[in-house]
């Protein structure tokens, strides 16, 4: 494995189909290697991923405002804005920008080149990382939680309610243990092998899941204050009324939980944080 250490190895044996699959995420860069045999998602190619040109009908964040990761091999910030290349339910993309666990490199700020993401009905934007489900029958996921905040002016950032966070060691890798966080749900959307329309991406399949995967956020759910945010009632009202121009994504471990005085740490041994694949808005102007 060269310089990389194994985060986790999952073997799935299917006797009836004589199918064998092995997938793993790296300790050092928390990136899932491609499936060694048949993929579990649609593999019909319709073009390269990342695409040479982004689809004009998908409002993807296309500008890096701030990015300082030092994760070797995965600190090219353009990979956070060059297209969504999800690996499906049981795999993850390698075309990502990896955050550090703490410090300046634990944060990335993106924008839509000066455009404003509007507050519309339902989910307003989707954050794509590279989590995966550990087996077909499990409700457990390998993920890197992140704190998501948005801002209209690039100074005052508002986030979402994280107060429901209270996982035990027995359920720390369950999505339900991390309400309000991003980076939890697998990314089905792939601009080459599994393209979706904008409407499909924002269609719910239940329990917080979307047709194209990723984690959706509704600006109506923004809160005043919140861990790591500098959001007052005026800033929140402004965003909910006029929309936002900047999105900040932070490794959960770099944000202090006010109940413990420590970061929101997922109990893993690898040494980098979330792997950003991209962000898509429902409506910009």
* Structural domain includes residue 88: yes
Measured distance between the N- and C-terminal CA atoms of the chain, rounded to whole angstroms: 46
Residue 220 corresponds to which tokens in the numbers above?
């109506």
* Structural domain includes residue 26: no
Residue 80 has pLDDT above 50, yes or no: yes
Residue that the structure tokens 């959001």 belong to:
231
Residue 18 has pLDDT above 80, yes or no: no
74 and 98 in contact (C-beta within 8 Å)?
Answer: yes
Region 205-209: what's the mean pLDDT? Answer: 96
pLDDT over 70, % of the chain: 82
Tell me the pLDDT band of 112, cut-offs 50, 70 and 90. Answer: very high
Identify the pLDDT of residue 35: 31
Lowest mean pLDDT segment, chosen from 203-212, 217-226, 270-279: 270-279
SS3 content of the chain, % helix, strand, coil (to 5): 10, 30, 60
Maximum distance among all Cα pairs of the chain, rounded to whole angstroms:
60
* 270 or 263, higher pLDDT: 263
* Structural domain includes residue 9: no
Identify the pLDDT of residue 168: 81
Identify the pLDDT of residue 48: 83
* Structural domain includes residue 157: yes
Residue 158 has pLDDT above 80, yes or no: yes
Tell me the pLDDT band of 255, cut-offs 50, 70 and 90. Answer: very high
pTM score, two decimals? 0.85
3-state secondary structure of 113: coil
How many whole angstroms separate alpha carbon 94 and alpha carbon 277?
Answer: 9
As beta bridge partners, residue 10 has: 23
Identify the pLDDT of residue 266: 81
Q: How many domains does the chain have?
A: 1
Region 14-31: what's the mean pLDDT? Answer: 34
Using CA of residue 123, residue 125, residue 131, residue 135, what is the dihedral sign?
A: positive
* Structural domain includes residue 89: yes
* Enclosing domain of residue 150: 45-281
* Structural domain includes residue 93: yes
- Alpha-carbon torsion angle 263, 77, 56, 246, nearest 10: 50
């Amino acid at each position: 494995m060269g310089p990389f250490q194994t985060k986790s190895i999952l073997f799935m044996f299917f006797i009836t189909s004589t199918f064998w699959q092995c997938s793993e995420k790296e300790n050092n860069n928390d990136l899932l290697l491609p499936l060694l045999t048949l993929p579990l998602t649609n593999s019909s190619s319709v073009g390269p991923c990342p695409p040479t040109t982004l689809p004009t009908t998908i409002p993807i964040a296309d500008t890096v405002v701030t990015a300082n990761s030092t994760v070797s091999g995965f600190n090219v910030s353009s990979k956070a804005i060059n297209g969504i290349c999800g690996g499906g339910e049981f795999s993850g993309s390698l075309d990502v920008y990896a955050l550090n666990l703490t410090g300046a490199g634990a944060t990335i700020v993106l924008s839509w080149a000066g455009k404003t993401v509007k507050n519309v009905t339902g989910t307003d934007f989707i954050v794509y990382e590279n989590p995966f489900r550990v087996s077909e029958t499990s409700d457990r996921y390998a993920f890197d939680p992140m704190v998501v905040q948005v801002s209209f002016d690039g100074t005052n950032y508002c986030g979402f309610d994280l107060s429901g966070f209270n996982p035990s060691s027995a359920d720390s890798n369950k999505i339900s243990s991390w309400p309000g966080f991003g980076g939890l749900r697998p990314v089905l959307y792939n601009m080459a092998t599994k393209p979706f329309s904008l409407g499909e991406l924002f269609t719910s399949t239940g329990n917080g899941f979307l047709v194209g995967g990723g984690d959706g956020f509704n600006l109506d759910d923004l809160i005043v204050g919140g861990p790591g945010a500098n959001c007052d009632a005026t800033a929140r009202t402004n965003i909910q009324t006029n929309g936002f121009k900047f999105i900040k994504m932070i490794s959960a471990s770099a944000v202090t939980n006010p109940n413990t005085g420590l970061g929101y740490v997922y109990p893993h041994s690898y040494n980098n944080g979330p792997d950003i694949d991209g962000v898509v808005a429902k409506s910009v102007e």
